[in-house]
Amino acid sequence: MNTPSPIPAFGLGTFRLTGQTVIDSVKTGLELGYRHIDTAQIYGNEAEVGQAIAESGVPRDALFLTTKVWTEHLAAGRLIPSLHDSLAKLRTDHVDLALIHWPSPGGTVPLADSLGALLRAREQGLVRHIGVSNFTTALLREAVAAVGTSAIATNQIELHPYLQNRAVASFARAQGIHTTSYMTLAYGQVLQDPVVQAIATELNATSAQVALAWAMQQGYAVIPSSTRRENLQSNLRAPALRLSDAQMARMAALERGGRLVNPEGLAPVWD
């Protein structure tokens, strides 16, 4: 059931980065070798991401580009026009992955309508893969009922050592749905964790590399962001790092339900 994911395991996130800051981050990342770039309509930086890609000289077909559809555009009649806007800003004729960024608040827009529109966008060649973000087990069940597991490329969720989201991740894995971890470093909190620091010392690595490797070792994709060249370069070494079973167990014990992203009026009832 678990087929290889089309989503690169390691990417560059752009959340909270705008203007020249995001241009510099993406251009530096591409120069260093990043090829998976993650953005979203609500980030307000798609045009800058598109500019950075265009100026980088990296061929479009060498990139995996993700954007996310905001809640205001989830209605069937608005979703595809919003993707056309995103593509214009990103200076491309398609994105590799388009996600429903958050479930429709209060279920105002039926999930089947949004996913149906995403499937039509895929048929039209506007997107290569579709998926969801911030979905609970119940919402994943609803998505599967609407379009089947094979249509859902990933569920992008907050997932880090302090919030391991095991119920959702386990359900997704059982369904053959890939998981993408965002906020893998918990806004930097895990970098100061004594357990993570100790493992980093044991592996001659950084705390960030340990946290990112921990997530990838479980099969998740990660999309850390940074504005500093040295951090972007250092993070790139995470995919080659391997934690022992004992080290993975110590990381697993850090779970404490430490959710950081829970916007009022937008967040579903979490598992």
pLDDT at 181: 98
Domain boundaries, the chain: 12-186+219-238
**3-state class of 75 per DSSP?**
coil
Q: What's the pLDDT tens digit per position in 201-210?
A: 999 999 999 9
pLDDT at 2: 47
CATH architecture of 12-186+219-238: Alpha-Beta Barrel (3.20)
Cα–Cα dist 97/11, whole Å: 13
Cα–Cα dist 159/2, whole Å: 20
Q: What are the two backbone dihedrals, phi and then psi, of residue 61, each rounded to the nearest 5 degrees?
A: -75, -5
Between the alpha carbon of residue 210 and those of residues 9, 11, 190, 248, the distances in Å are 15, 16, 10, 10
Cα–Cα dist 193/82, whole Å: 41
Looking at this protein, which amino acid is placed at residue 261? V
Between the alpha carbon of residue 9 and those of residues 25, 114, 178, 180, 193, the distances in Å are 19, 26, 10, 8, 24
Between the alpha carbon of residue 5 and those of residues 1, 116, 151, 173, the distances in Å are 11, 21, 12, 11
Tokens of 3: 């087929």
What is the maximum span of the chain, computed from C-alpha positions, in angstroms? 54
Instruction: Characterize the bridge pairing of strands 221-222 and 178-182.
Output: parallel
Is 101 annotated among the ligand-binding residues? yes
Is the four-CA dihedral 185, 186, 188, 192 of positive or negative sign?
negative
Q: What's the pLDDT tens digit per position in 13-47?
A: 999 999 999 999 999 999 999 999 999 999 999 99
Catalytic positions, please?
A: 43
Q: What pLDDT tens digit does each residue of the chain (271 aa) get?
A: 446 789 999 999 999 999 999 999 999 999 999 999 999 999 999 999 999 999 999 999 999 999 999 999 999 999 999 999 999 999 999 999 999 999 999 999 999 999 999 999 999 999 999 999 999 999 999 999 999 999 999 999 999 999 999 999 999 999 999 999 999 999 999 999 999 999 999 999 999 999 999 999 999 999 999 999 999 999 999 999 999 999 999 999 999 999 999 999 999 999 9
